[in-house]
């Protein structure tokens, strides 16, 4: 065992990442950094800054900083689902697949991948605002981490408030037990996030209902035709599925659905 460690240790010391431009690294890590920063920001209310956070982090040893970073990494999927448009997109795609009747086609990996890239496309202006207002000045040592978190959370809060329903927001403001806010900026982020999530789910279900209607009509018409012809033993699904696929392709369904989803966020 000792001999193996002696042979492995020099190789580990000589290990280096492949050379990559600084700009490409920043662009690659930008979504991760954004979600990490906003995950930290949600731990505080909108009106109470994270006091002395910058000085506290500077006093921590490097191993502790690494441990904190590794502890925040599992929050990235939750932040992606809860703080962006990902929820609406993936729910609509799932309902569309069920409406057509193709249970596993497209596969989950394709739907999640498409929803992920559509999320980055829709959220691109928000991510750019966070980068220019918070991350870039902080990397240049122009602002503290408290200011970076405050300025970085503002565009994401603005995006969520634009999509959230007033009734859903009022629900969580009421049950939070806090004093009635005078304006939107007084509402804590921890109150906006659940209101935003249920608003996205409601919107996604409304879109899914509209998607179901034409396919439901096709199923009903074909079932009636088969019954009138006395073809009781032939499952209507065998006839309706290719018809629904043909109808979806003829109307260029993916283009219509994606364009409608993108338009719904503007």
Residues 6+ apart with CB under 8 A from 34: 127, 130, 131, 135, 152
Quick one: tokens of 26? 């920043």
Structural Rg of the chain based on CA atoms: 25
pLDDT category at 44 given cuts 50, 70, 90 is: very low
pLDDT of 93 over the 90 cut? yes
Domain definitions of the chain by residue range? 22-83+126-152, 85-122+164-266
Confidence at 65, pLDDT banded by 50, 70, 90: low
| Helix, strand, or coil (residue 84) | coil
Q: Is 51 within 8 Å of 146 (Cβ atoms)?
A: yes
Q: pTM of the full predicted structure?
A: 0.71
- For residue 195, give both structure tokens: 């209101």
For the record, the structure tokens of 31 come out as 């979504």
**DSSP 8-state assignment for residue 131:** I
Average pLDDT (185-199) is 87
For residue 6, the model assigns a pLDDT of: 42
Whether 85 has a pLDDT exceeding 50, the answer reads yes
Q: Which of 20-29, 112-121, 136-145 has the lowest mean pLDDT?
A: 20-29
DSSP H helices in the chain: 2-14, 22-41, 53-59, 62-72, 75-83, 86-100, 108-122, 124-130, 136-139, 145-163, 166-176, 189-228, 236-250, 253-263
Query: Do residues 135 and 102 touch, judged by C-beta distance below 8 A?
Result: no
Q: Residue range 214-228: average pLDDT?
A: 83
DSSP state, residue 235: -
The token pair at 160 is: 């969520």
Average pLDDT value for residue range 18-35: 46
Secondary structure tally for the chain: helices H, strands E? 14, 0
Sign of CA dihedral 243, 245, 249, 253: positive
């Amino acid at each position: 065992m000792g001999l193996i460690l002696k042979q492995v240790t020099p190789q580990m010391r000589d290990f280096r990442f492949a050379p990559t431009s600084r700009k490409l690294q920043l662009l690659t890590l930008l979504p991760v950094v954004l979600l990490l920063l906003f995950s930290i920001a949600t731990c505080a209310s909108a009106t109470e800054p994270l006091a002395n956070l910058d000085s506290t982090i500077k006093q921590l040893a490097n191993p502790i900083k690494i441990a904190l970073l590794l502890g925040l990494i599992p929050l990235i999927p939750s932040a992606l689902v809860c703080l962006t448009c990902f929820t609406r997109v993936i729910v609509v795609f799932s309902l569309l697949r069920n409406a057509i009747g193709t249970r596993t086609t497209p596969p989950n990996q394709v739907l999640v991948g498409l929803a992920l890239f559509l999320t980055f496309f829709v959220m691109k202006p928000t991510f750019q605002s966070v980068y220019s207002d918070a991350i870039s000045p902080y990397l240049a040592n122009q602002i503290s981490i408290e200011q970076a978190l405050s300025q970085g959370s503002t565009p994401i809060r603005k995006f969520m408030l634009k999509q959230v329903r007033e009734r859903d927001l009022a629900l969580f403001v009421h049950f939070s037990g806090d004093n009635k806010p005078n304006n939107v900026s007084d509402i804590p982020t921890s109150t906006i996030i659940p209101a935003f999530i249920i608003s996205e789910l409601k919107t996604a279900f409304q879109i899914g209902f509209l998607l179901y209607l034409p396919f439901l009509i096709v199923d009903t018409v074909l079932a009636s035709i088969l019954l009138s012809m006395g073809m009781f033993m032939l499952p209507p699904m065998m006839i309706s599925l290719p018809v629904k696929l043909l109808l979806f392709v003829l109307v260029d369904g993916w283009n219509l659905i994606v364009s409608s989803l993108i338009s719904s966020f503007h």
